[in-house]
Amino acid sequence: MRTWLSWSSGKDSAWALHILRSHPDVEVVGLLTTVNERFGRVAMHAVRRSILEAQAGAVGLPLHMVDLPFPCSSSDYDLRMAEAVGVALEQGVEAIAFGDLFLEDVRKYLEQRLEGTGLRPLFPLWGTPTAELAREMIDAGLRATVTCVDPRRMSPSFAGLPFDHQLLADLPRDVDPCGENGEFHTLVTAGPMLRVPLETIPGEVVTRDGFVFADLRPDSAPRQAP
């Protein structure tokens, strides 16, 4: 089944790619990402377009970016996503996969968005206990950095920290280990789904629109795989 993966640049979508690649009946043929066209960054994760493009090169898949205006109305979003669906169908894509874990309302929304399009929604990580999943990712060599924090749920000091066992131990007890409730977002720079690691340089930590963002800058282009 030819599949696009909804790619946020973070750990859950990256792990979904890793899992899907072990499924003999699924072929991931592209990454689908929404980008704020005004700032050139991934929505919520605030990852620079240049890093996003480097990620796609490191995983070896074409990147399909949906540029969204800022601010973005529902009609603008619907129109641009419909265009992306049209491109997917033209390329023979049969499904779009998502890295969502347990939020039923989000899954229902995504399923409704794809109804009647000819594209099937896939949720390869659905229902996995998040504490177990977080440890599994880290133990398998996934490397990620916290790029966005909701300061209403956790300390802004987590912004810019590595997603590792120490971070899991330090999270407030009511914060999901994978940040599934929007407590935090990440940028993946290494792991079994990337052919080569990415190097980033920490930048400024800023507060914008009620969230705390750690700006990461690309250090160098991905090295060529041997």
The one-letter amino acid at 165: H
pLDDT of 35 > 60? The answer is: yes
Looking at the 3D structure of the chain, how many domains does it have?
Answer: 1
User: So what's the pLDDT on residue 162?
Assistant: 97
Q: What percent of the chain has pLDDT over 90?
A: 80
CATH number of the domain bearing residue 158: 3.40.50.620
* Residue 88 is assigned to a structural domain of this protein: yes
Q: Give the residue with greater pLDDT, 85 vs 223.
A: 85
* Residue 170 is assigned to a structural domain of this protein: yes
Q: Residue length, the chain?
A: 226
Considering all CA atoms of the chain, what is the largest pairwise distance in Å, rounded to the nearest integer? 47
Residues 158-171: what's their mean pLDDT?
98
Q: How far apart are CA 45 and CA 216, in angstroms?
A: 11
pLDDT of 53 > 90? The answer is: yes
pLDDT of 96 > 90? The answer is: yes
Q: Give the residue with greater pLDDT, 221 vs 62.
A: 62
How confident is the model over 69-87, as pLDDT tens digits? 777 778 888 888 889 999 9
> Number of helices (H) and strands (E), helices first, in the chain?
6, 10
* Residue 202 is assigned to a structural domain of this protein: yes
* Residue 117 is assigned to a structural domain of this protein: yes
Residue 72 and residue 39 in contact, taking contact as beta carbons nearer than 8 Å: no
Number of alpha carbons in the 13 Å side-chain half-sphere of residue 168: 16
CA–CA distances in Å: residue 116 to residues 59, 84, 85, 92, 111: 30, 15, 11, 16, 10
Structural domain range at position 170: 2-220
pLDDT of 220 > 80? The answer is: no
* Residue 226 is assigned to a structural domain of this protein: no
User: So what's the pLDDT on residue 226?
Assistant: 32
* Residue 196 is assigned to a structural domain of this protein: yes
Parallel, antiparallel or unpaired: strands 143-149 and 120-122: unpaired
* Residue 225 is assigned to a structural domain of this protein: no
Tokens of 137: 């990712």
Parallel, antiparallel or unpaired: strands 199-208 and 211-220: antiparallel
User: So what's the pLDDT on residue 193?
Assistant: 97
* Residue 178 is assigned to a structural domain of this protein: yes
Q: Give the residue with greater pLDDT, 220 vs 30.
A: 30
